[in-house]
């Protein structure tokens, strides 16, 4: 595991939905080869942060840099070409496309790299028999693996996983997290947004905890004990 | 049980009823729900004055001016109805000319064949239009959005073709309203004018009254978010149906008066989609979704029409360009621009909460 | 005998209506956008072809090579420059903007070309027919039907088998998720409109050869295209072909009963479908 210079550098980020401010002065970094977890309660702003990095959030202030270059003004679809790939909350598989086509369209940006349809199916064998099926005919867990596979097909340097455990059985979630080492080994840094704190702490090199649009806590999983996390998660003051 | 009608309940009573014993705790602050603003009170007075002055127009205006005003009032009625449909109920119709035609031909048939006095036939023709609008709505409501729009157009075209193929209604060459020959010219013109004034003012007044009631809240909620409105118990289908029928009635009234003024009815003119084009232009440019908008738009339209009509197609091209620009950039039209800057509402339908002043320090806490 | 002939004429007419309807269906399928100026763009294409014919002496069918790409560009720019700003939202804007465009187009054409009826002269092919037993099948209407079916098939193939088609389908499902995989949704929408205008160009030129056209003819073409789509069923491209044929047959048989009843019969059949089978002949079931 090599920690290099920051791949992703977010500095002083504010974000708004209309008049509502969702992020206040967020600063986080992700180094090359790292797995970073972002935890927090509903509404803490985790998904908003990921969406901003992916380029879907129109009203922002502050800076987001990827590999040294500022991302301001770069539309979402171009960021995929730069190496940022997001697996959105709620999976959002394309129902009009088959399983195989969902994977193929993941490669729309045509980035070179190790991930091909075959490689993805090797990582997630349960999708193999269902290649021709319509995207919406899969179970929740299968759709989630398909969504991740689609995200991998972009051969990203930074993979953003937004709430992949939502609505899935623990066994299924476990299998998904078991794939993370292989993803990291193939060259991607990963940001995981999670409500399942156990999985997040188990998989991550570093953790940020967000509360009401701000970073409330950060550190390695070993440094953070339950009480500190609970305080940051729920906003309790001692 | 205290009624929860926002028009009538005292909010303090509502609170008291909910919280149980009235004397145990400090009474909640009184919140008033009010509607009228200073601007609207001034506006109401001015509007009444304007209507009164216009009511006397036959005494001081030339016939040509009266005719223009008839055009204005009927266009105002049409635009107000279209605004009710599109701006409040979210139903974009390009087929209201169906009811203009029904109003016109209804007027003809009732006065010519059924022997009704032509001025009395006007509201009756409108009632006929309201009745047939119900099955039409049932059909049309199966379509949504842009397809609903075209569907309304197809229905209007179907009516046009039916009339054009019916010899009793004059077929393709049209008919003339002869039943007015019992009146001398001046009386006819005066009566037509007052009828137009009544229809125009009535359409605006009716819309205002409708929107003040809970129907108005239901419509606005539906316009903002249909799913949310539905989940709150608003019967979206019935609300839309009611608005559609009212609009059909209003357009038929206007149509009957228009042709009472013109006297000559041809299917291609009465059922022309240009009526929809005019309605859309007026409402878009004046300000969709407000009551003041169609008034502003109708004034502007009549002025433009009087000055530019000699330029034929160029004036329509210009109108089209302005409409497209407004739809893209200035969604709320002229009145919208004014209202956003100044906050003025001459026909206030919003209810505002008037909060009490905050308690002075030293009071109980 | 005449009825049988009219039946055949109606079926062939369906090919022309399917050509018109394809573009409307495509735009609605990808963007939920109904282009009220659809018919007027077909007439624009016909006038463009006329200008090319007058300028170069080319056979009208050969002008397809110029007019179709030109109309693709028109559609692309229209979507990218104007209609992309109306997608999403409350659905009011696209109807109003395209209605305004319809008025503008008709009146610009009126100013440029006057209200006179024009035609595109395709020579002998317009008048010759194939004799099948006691039926007379015109060569040109047959060509129109074949072209209509070919355009539909081509579009199906494009959507189902190509990278572009995949991108279009994904964008129509979820424009935001499409961005996340690298699809430029604004470009995808514009390509869809470009394709729609390209098919409308073919429809317009075939119309111009088959019959006369004038600036005000657009709206009725829109209505026929719309009726074909609804009768066939939303969401089914092949349904559109069948819908076009049903409409064509209804119109020709209606005209046989009485000359003024052609279009009216078509409208009544459309209303009947709307009343008794709102999802159309092949469409997905409607949820009210």
How confident is the model over B96-117, as pLDDT tens digits? 999 999 999 999 999 988 889 9
**A105, C172: Cβ pair inside 8 Å?**
no
Task: Give a yes or no: residue B3 inside a domain.
Answer: no
**What's the gap in Å between the CA of A46 and the closest CA on chain C?**
17
**What's the gap in Å between the CA of B308 and the closest CA on chain C?**
15
* Whether B158 contacts C271, CB under 8 Å: yes
- Mean pLDDT for the stretch of residues A119-123: 91
- Mean pLDDT for the stretch of residues C49-72: 94
* Whether C17 contacts C247, CB under 8 Å: yes
Per-residue model confidence (pLDDT) at position B226:
67
Check pLDDT > 90 for residue A167: no
Reported as a pLDDT band with limits 50, 70 and 90, residue C130 is confident
What is the greatest pairwise CA distance in chain B?
86
Per-residue model confidence (pLDDT) at position B363:
41
Which of C80, C182, C192 is the best substitution to test chain A (most A C-beta atoms within 10 A)?
C182
Check pLDDT > 50 for residue B159: yes
Residue A95 has its nearest CB partner, among C173, C176, C180, at C173
| Cβ neighbours of C176 in A, within 8 Å | 56, 88, 92
List, in sequence order, the alpha helices (H) in chain C: 2-31, 38-56, 64-81, 92-113, 139-161, 163-173, 175-180, 185-210, 218-232, 237-257, 262-276
A76 touches chain C (CB under 8 A): yes
- Mean pLDDT for the stretch of residues C41-49: 97
The residue with greater pLDDT, C164 or A171, is C164
Q: What does pLDDT average to over chain A?
A: 89
Residue B157 has its nearest CB partner, among C267, C286, C288, at C267
C274 touches chain B (CB under 8 A): yes
Task: Give a yes or no: residue B13 inside a domain.
Answer: no
Q: Which of A70-74, A156-160, B334-338 has the lowest mean pLDDT?
A: B334-338
The residue with greater pLDDT, B362 or C162, is C162
**What's the gap in Å between the CA of C166 and the closest CA on chain A?**
7
CATH of the domain at B103: 1.10.3470
Per-residue model confidence (pLDDT) at position B223:
67
Per-residue model confidence (pLDDT) at position B63:
86
Per-residue model confidence (pLDDT) at position B192:
93
| Cβ neighbours of B97 in C, within 8 Å | none
Residue C181 has its nearest CB partner, among A75, A95, A106, at A106
Chains that touch B (3 or more CB pairs under 8 A): C
Reported as a pLDDT band with limits 50, 70 and 90, residue A43 is confident
- Mean pLDDT for the stretch of residues A63-83: 93
The residue with greater pLDDT, B245 or B62, is B245
Distance CA C205, CA C216 (A): 16
CA-closest candidate to residue B260, choices B364, B122, B162, B143: B122
Distances (CA, A) of C157 to C1, C58, C168: 39, 31, 13
Q: Which of B341-345, C81-85, C233-237 has the lowest mean pLDDT?
A: B341-345
**C170, A54: Cβ pair inside 8 Å?**
no
Interface predicted TM-score (ipTM) = 0.91
Per-residue model confidence (pLDDT) at position A172:
84
**A105, C183: Cβ pair inside 8 Å?**
yes
Half-sphere exposure of residue C224: CA atoms within 13 angstroms, side-chain side = 32
Strands A20-31 and A6-17: antiparallel
Query: Beta-carbon neighbour count of residue C116 at 10 Å?
Result: 8
Per-residue model confidence (pLDDT) at position B21:
47
CA-closest candidate to residue B102, choices B265, B211, B264: B265
CA-closest candidate to residue A75, choices C178, C73, C164, C193: C178
**C182, A109: Cβ pair inside 8 Å?**
yes
Task: Give a yes or no: residue B6 inside a domain.
Answer: no
Reported as a pLDDT band with limits 50, 70 and 90, residue B329 is confident
Residue C181 has its nearest CB partner, among A55, A56, A108, at A108
Distance CA B79, CA B335 (A): 14
HEC readout, chain A: CCCCCEEEEEEEEEEEECCEEEEEEEEEEEECCCEEEEEECCCCCHHHHHHHHHCCCCCEEEEEEECCEECCCCCHHHHHHHCEEEECCCCCCCCCCEHHHHHHHHCCCCCCCCCCHHHHHHHCHHHHHHCCCEHHHCCHHHHHHHHHHHHHCCCCCEEEEECCCCCCCHHHHHHHHHCHHHHHHCCCEEEEEECCHHHHHHHCCEEEEEECCEEEEEECCCCCCHHHHHHHHHCCCC
Strands A158-162 and A84-87: parallel
User: Number of residue pairs across A and C with CB atoms under 8 Å?
Assistant: 67
**What's the gap in Å between the CA of C110 and the closest CA on chain A?**
42
| Cβ neighbours of B313 in C, within 8 Å | 107-108, 110-111
Distance CA C25, CA C22 (A): 5
For A212-225, the pLDDT digits (tens) are 999 988 888 888 87
Residue B158 has its nearest CB partner, among C108, C260, C271, at C271
Residue C111 has its nearest CB partner, among B155, B313, B321, at B313
**What's the gap in Å between the CA of A153 and the closest CA on chain C?**
9
Hey, what are B171's tokens?
A: 């077929």
| Cβ neighbours of C111 in B, within 8 Å | 313-314, 317
* Whether B110 contacts B102, CB under 8 Å: no
Distance CA C65, CA C49 (A): 10
Task: Give a yes or no: residue B250 inside a domain.
Answer: yes
Check pLDDT > 50 for residue B4: no
Structural domains of chain B, count: 1
* Whether B297 contacts B334, CB under 8 Å: yes
In percent, how much of chain B has pLDDT > 70? Answer: 79
- Mean pLDDT for the stretch of residues B316-322: 87
- Mean pLDDT for the stretch of residues A133-156: 91
Q: Is the dihedral of CA B197, B198, B203, B206 positive or negative?
A: positive
| Cβ neighbours of B134 in C, within 8 Å | none
Task: Give a yes or no: residue B15 inside a domain.
Answer: no
**A92, C170: Cβ pair inside 8 Å?**
no
The residue with greater pLDDT, A4 or A97, is A97
Burial of A138: CB neighbours in 10 Å, binned 0-12, 13-18, 19+:
buried
User: Are there at least 3 beta-carbon pairs closer than 8 Å between C and B?
Assistant: yes
A161 touches chain C (CB under 8 A): no
Per-residue model confidence (pLDDT) at position A1:
45
* Whether A108 contacts C181, CB under 8 Å: yes
Q: What angle do CA B120, B126, B131 make, to 5 degrees?
A: 130
- Mean pLDDT for the stretch of residues C23-33: 90
**B317, C104: Cβ pair inside 8 Å?**
yes
* Whether C229 contacts C240, CB under 8 Å: yes
Distance CA C170, CA C198 (A): 22
Per-residue model confidence (pLDDT) at position B291:
87
Reported as a pLDDT band with limits 50, 70 and 90, residue B282 is very high
Reported as a pLDDT band with limits 50, 70 and 90, residue C32 is confident
Distance CA C256, CA C196 (A): 33
Reported as a pLDDT band with limits 50, 70 and 90, residue A92 is very high
In chain C, domain spans:
2-217
Burial of A114: CB neighbours in 10 Å, binned 0-12, 13-18, 19+:
exposed
* H helix count then E strand count, chain B: 16, 4
Distance CA C17, CA C12 (A): 9
The domain in which residue B112 lies consists of 28-354
Place of tokens 């109401």: B44
Check pLDDT > 50 for residue B81: yes
- Mean pLDDT for the stretch of residues B289-304: 90
Reported as a pLDDT band with limits 50, 70 and 90, residue B222 is low
Nearest residue of chain C to residue A55 (CA atoms): C180
Reported as a pLDDT band with limits 50, 70 and 90, residue B3 is very low
Nearest-Å Rg of the Cα atoms of chain C is: 19
- Mean pLDDT for the stretch of residues C144-172: 94
Q: Which positions ≥6 away from C237 have C-beta within 8 Å?
A: C22, C25, C152, C155, C156
Total number of residues shown for chain B = 365
Check pLDDT > 80 for residue B69: yes
Q: What does pLDDT average to over chain B?
A: 83
Per-residue model confidence (pLDDT) at position B349:
66
Domains and CATH numbers, chain A: 6-234 (3.40.50.300)
**What's the gap in Å between the CA of A97 and the closest CA on chain C?**
7
**A105, C170: Cβ pair inside 8 Å?**
yes
Reported as a pLDDT band with limits 50, 70 and 90, residue A175 is confident
Distances (CA, A) of B282 to B126, B152, B247: 22, 19, 16
Strands A158-162 and A189-194: parallel
Which of C100, C223, C243, C288 is the best substitution to test chain B (most B C-beta atoms within 10 A)?
C100
CA-closest candidate to residue B159, choices B107, B104, B119: B104
Task: Give a yes or no: residue B20 inside a domain.
Answer: no
- Mean pLDDT for the stretch of residues B344-356: 66
Query: Beta-carbon neighbour count of residue C212 at 10 Å?
Result: 13
Write out the E strands in chain C.
Answer: 129-132, 135-138
Check pLDDT > 90 for residue B228: no
- Mean pLDDT for the stretch of residues B290-312: 87
Check pLDDT > 50 for residue B22: no
**C264, B139: Cβ pair inside 8 Å?**
no
Per-residue model confidence (pLDDT) at position C135:
82
- Mean pLDDT for the stretch of residues B26-51: 73
* CA dihedral of A204, A185, A171, A224, whole degrees rounded to 10: -10
| Cβ neighbours of B331 in C, within 8 Å | 93
């Amino acid at each position: 595991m090599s920690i290099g210079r920051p791949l992703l550098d977010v500095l002083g980020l504010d974000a708004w939905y209309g008049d509502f401010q969702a992020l206040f002065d967020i600063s986080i970094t992700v180094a090359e080869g790292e797995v970073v977890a972002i935890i927090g309660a509903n509404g803490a702003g985790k998904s908003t942060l990921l969406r901003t990095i992916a380029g879907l959030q129109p009203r922002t202030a502050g800076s987001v840099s990827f590999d040294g270059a500022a991302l301001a003004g770069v539309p979402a679809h171009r960021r995929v070409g730069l190496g940022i790939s997001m697996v959105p909350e709620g999976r959002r598989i394309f129902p009009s496309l088959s399983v195989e086509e969902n994977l193929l369209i993941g490669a729309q940006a045509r980035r070179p790299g190790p991930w091909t349809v075959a490689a993805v199916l090797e990582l997630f064998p349960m999708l193999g028999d269902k290649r021709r099926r319509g995207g919406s005919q899969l179970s929740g867990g299968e759709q989630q693996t398909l969504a991740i596979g689609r995200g991998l097909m972009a051969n990203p340097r930074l993979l953003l996983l937004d709430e992949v455990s939502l609505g899935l059985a623990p066994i299924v979630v476990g299998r998904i997290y078991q794939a993370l080492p292989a993803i990291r080994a193939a060259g991607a840094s990963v940001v995981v947004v999670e409500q399942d704190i156990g999985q997040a702490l188990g998989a991550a090199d570093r953790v940020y905890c967000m509360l009401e649009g701000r970073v409330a806590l950060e550190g390695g999983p070993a440094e953070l004990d339950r009480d500190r996390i609970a305080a940051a998660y729920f906003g309790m003051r001692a | 049980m205290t009624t929860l009608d926002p028009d009538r309940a005292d909010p303090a009573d509502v609170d008291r009823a909910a919280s149980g014993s009235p004397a145990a705790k400090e009474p909640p602050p009184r919140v008033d729900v009010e509607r009228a603003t200073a601007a609207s009170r001034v506006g109401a007075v001015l509007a009444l004055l304007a209507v009164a002055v216009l009511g006397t127009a036959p005494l001081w205006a030339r016939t040509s001016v009266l005719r223009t005003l008839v055009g204005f009032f009927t266009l105002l009625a049409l635009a107000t109805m279209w605004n009710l449909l599109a701006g409040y109920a979210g139903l974009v119709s390009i087929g209201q000319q169906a009811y203009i035609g029904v109003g016109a031909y209804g007027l003809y048939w009732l006065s010519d064949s059924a022997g009704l006095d032509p001025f009395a036939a006007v509201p009756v023709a409108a009632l006929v239009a309201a009745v047939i609008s119900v099955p039409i709505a049932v059909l049309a409501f199966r379509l949504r959005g842009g397809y609903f729009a075209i569907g309304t157009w197809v229905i209007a075209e179907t009516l046009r073709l039916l009339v054009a193929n019916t010899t009793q209604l004059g077929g393709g060459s049209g008919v003339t309203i002869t039943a007015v020959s019992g009146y001398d010219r001046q009386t006819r013109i005066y009566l037509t004018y007052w009828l137009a004034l009544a229809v125009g003012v009535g359409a605006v007044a009716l819309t205002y009254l409708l929107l003040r009631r809970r129907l108005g809240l239901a419509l606005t909620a539906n316009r903002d978010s249909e799913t949310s409105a539905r989940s709150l118990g608003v019967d979206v289908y019935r609300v839309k149906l009611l608005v559609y029928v009212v609009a059909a009635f209003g357009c038929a009234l206007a149509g009957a008066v228009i042709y009472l003024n013109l006297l000559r009815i041809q299917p291609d003119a009465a059922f022309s989609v240009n009526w929809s084009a005019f309605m859309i232009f007026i409402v878009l440019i004046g300000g969709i979704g407000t009551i003041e908008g169609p008034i502003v738009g109708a004034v502007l339209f009549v002025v433009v029409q009087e000055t530019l009509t000699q330029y034929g197609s160029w004036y329509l091209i210009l109108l089209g360009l302005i409409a497209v620009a407004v739809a893209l950039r200035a969604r709320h039209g002229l009145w919208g621009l004014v209202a956003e800057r100044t906050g003025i509402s001459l026909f206030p339908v919003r209810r505002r909460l008037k909060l009490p002043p905050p308690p002075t320090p030293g009071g109980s806490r | 005998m005449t009825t049988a002939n009219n039946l055949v004429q109606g079926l062939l007419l369906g090919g022309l209506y399917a050509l018109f309807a394809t573009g409307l269906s495509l735009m609605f399928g990808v963007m939920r956008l109904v282009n009220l100026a659809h018919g007027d763009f077909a007439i624009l294409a016909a006038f463009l072809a006329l200008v090319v014919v007058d300028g170069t002496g080319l056979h009208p069918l050969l002008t397809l090579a110029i007019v179709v790409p030109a109309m693709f560009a028109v559609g692309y720019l229209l979507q990218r420059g104007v209609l992309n700003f109306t997608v999403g939202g409350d659905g009011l804007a696209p109807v109003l903007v395209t209605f305004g465009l319809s008025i503008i187009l008709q009146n610009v054409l009126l100013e440029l070309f006057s209200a006179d009826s024009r035609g595109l002269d395709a020579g002998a092919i317009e008048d010759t027919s194939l004799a099948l037993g006691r039926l007379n099948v015109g060569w040109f209407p047959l060509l129109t039907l074949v072209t209509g079916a070919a355009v539909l098939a081509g579009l199906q193939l494009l959507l189902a088998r190509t990278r572009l088609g995949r991108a279009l389908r994904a964008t129509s499902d979820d424009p935001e998720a499409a961005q996340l995989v690298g699809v430029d949704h604004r470009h995808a929408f514009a390509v869809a409109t470009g394709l729609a205008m390209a098919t409308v160009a073919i429809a317009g030129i075939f119309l111009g050869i088959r019959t006369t056209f004038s600036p005000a003819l657009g709206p009725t073409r829109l209505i026929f295209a719309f009726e074909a789509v609804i009768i066939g069923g939303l969401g089914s491209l092949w349904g559109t072909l069948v819908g076009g044929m049903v409409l064509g047959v209804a119109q020709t048989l209606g005209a046989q009963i009485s000359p003024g009843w052609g279009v009216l019969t078509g409208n009544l059949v459309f209303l009947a479908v709307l009343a008794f089978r709102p999802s159309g002949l092949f469409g997905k079931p409607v949820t009210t």
